[in-house]
Amino acid sequence: MDIKDFYYKIGPVSTKKVWYSPIPQSKLDDWVEDFKLLDLEDYEVYLGGKYVIDPINTDDIDICITGPIHDYMRLYDIMVQGYELALNKHNFFIDIKHFDNLNFSKYHKEKGRRRPHIVTELGGVEMKMINGVLDGQSIHKTRIPQPHDIPPELSVNVVQYPLNKHLKDGRTYDCRKLF
């Protein structure tokens, strides 16, 4: 497909740059060098998803952040900066989420073995337009009762893992610590 007009937005971050696919390892390496300069508090950062086991056959890089959330707005700033770096500096598609823990990556891929995890991601609209045609849109918002003051800029929800796409694929996606 010849892309003449491209637009992608997630929360406050947007780009008109078409991203690399598949994503070269050098792009990820450069992003990691920039991202680790941020004040990451007590967070640990992992590479997750399909890129870990099959980088040629995926269009995105999944970043898993774990550790205590002391300040939701600080986590929000880290996520925004991570997306900005990936989309507008290094030109690749990224998916950044904070997880309560990373045990979900090791679960057997059986429907009856799903377990709940608290997942935090950027809130708001996510959309992609190609040549003036909407290619996907979703709204990320907190759908659980809010025990804390979760800002609308973030979406915090309980998600059952493994997801249906993981069950269908059947492969185990482990997380690899980046730094």
Looking only at the bridges linking them, the beta strands covering 61-66 and 94-99 are: parallel
> How far apart are the C-alpha atoms of 6 and 110, rounded to whole Å?
38
Average the pLDDT over 128-148 and give the result.
90
C-beta separation of 176 from 25 below 8 A: no
**pLDDT band of 106, cuts 50, 70, 90:** confident
SS3 51: helix
CA 32 to chain CA centroid, nearest Å: 14
If you write DSSP's letter for every residue of 74-107 in order, what string do you get?
A: HHHHHHHHHHHIIIIIS---EEEEEES-SGGGGS
What tens digit of pLDDT does each residue of 112-134 get? 788 899 999 999 999 999 999 99
pLDDT at 161: 87
**Tokens 């450069």 belong to which residue?**
30
Element (H, E) at 32: helix 25-35
The CA-to-CA distance between both ends of the chain, in Å, stands at 37
Query: Is the pLDDT assigned to residue 46 strictly greater than 80?
Result: yes
Q: Tokens in use for 34?
A: 């920039």
pLDDT at 177: 96
Determine what percent of the chain is predicted with pLDDT higher than 90.
77
**pTM given for the model:** 0.93
pLDDT at 105: 77
**Tokens 């759908």 belong to which residue?**
143
> What are the boundaries of each domain within the chain?
6-177
Give the C-alpha distances (Å, rounded to integers) separating 144 from 131, 141, 158. 36, 9, 7
Q: Please compute Rg for the chain using Cα positions.
A: 16
> How far apart are the C-alpha atoms of 72 and 75, rounded to whole Å?
5
What tens digit of pLDDT does each residue of 147-177 get? 667 889 999 999 998 888 888 887 777 899 9
